[in-house]
Amino acid sequence: MKMLFLGPPGAGKGTIAARISTFLNIPHVSTGDIFRENINKKTPLGMKVKSILDSGDLVSDELTTKMLKTRLESDDAASGFVLDGFPRTIPQAEALSKTSDIDHAIELRCTEEVLIRRLTGRRICSTCRRIYHVDSMPPKVENLCDNDGTRLHIREDDELESVKRRLALYAEETKPLSHWYEMRGLLRVVDGTREADVVFKEIREMLGI
């Protein structure tokens, strides 16, 4: 089964995609992981990506799609995969359609209030990198890491103004993908405001897995 997840930052795409990947024993593929893997292996494409990222530029759709195509042609993806974080734009979706046939595009929808609470509530330990959340996964001692006692901090991306900019960018660039996949009969919409266990169960029932 070949599927991808859509939804704004904080909707839970990565969490659910990872669970589906484990349940179906198919790879969970994200562009970030692909970039890191190619850079670490010093592949020709990886070296191109490294030079682009080091210069502060964005990796082009063409280069991203090339790396993704190579990853999806790997033996472990022969029976399916779960895409997370790609495509982000309609041109990327069009490029993907020339590389692989997607069975399902699952969109996790959430209210802006829930998204802001989820994202601004995240805290991270700068020493061990463990992630917490003030509501769903708080530390035993407020604002201190359970592992090493380091004071927790908010990532710059999770500051309120940054979150609002990320959500606005999603609405402008990525939200149109919902209609694009709906017109092709591939879109499946799920209420992502609920607990992960509930969302996971509904997706399994929806897909008959």
Query: Which residue among the candidates 48, 50, 88, 130 is catalytic per the annotation?
Result: 88
Query: Which residue among the candidates 2, 69, 166, 188 is catalytic per the annotation?
Result: 166
Q: Is 184 a catalytic residue?
A: no
pLDDT computed for residue 22 by the predictor: 95
pLDDT at 23 over 90: yes
Q: For Cα atoms 4, 120, 10, give the angle at the middle one, nearest 5 degrees.
A: 10
pLDDT computed for residue 198 by the predictor: 95
Q: Is 88 a catalytic residue?
A: yes
Query: Which residue among the candidates 13, 71, 118, 123 is catalytic per the annotation?
Result: 13
Give the CA count within 13 Å in the CB-facing half-sphere of 112.
Answer: 9
Which runs of E-coded beta strand occur in the chain?
A: 2-6, 28-30, 81-84, 104-109, 122-124, 131-133, 187-191
- What is d(CA 78, CA 8) in angstroms, rounded to the nearest whole number? 28
3-state SS assignment for residue 105: strand
pLDDT tens-digit map of 46-75:
888 888 888 777 778 888 888 888 899 989
- Write down the CATH number for the domain with range 2-27+74-207: 3.40.50.300
Query: Which residue among the candidates 19, 71, 122, 123 is catalytic per the annotation?
Result: 122
Q: What band does 31 get if pLDDT is binned at 50, 70 and 90?
A: confident
Q: So where are the chain's domains?
A: 2-27+74-207
Mean pLDDT of 126-150: 93
Which residues are 110's β-sheet partners? none
What pTM, to 2 d.p., does this model score? 0.83
Query: Which residue among the candidates 155, 165, 184, 201 is catalytic per the annotation?
Result: 155
pLDDT tens-digit map of 152-166:
999 888 899 999 998
Backbone φ and ψ for 55, nearest 5 degrees, come out as: -85, -5
Q: Is 50 a catalytic residue?
A: no
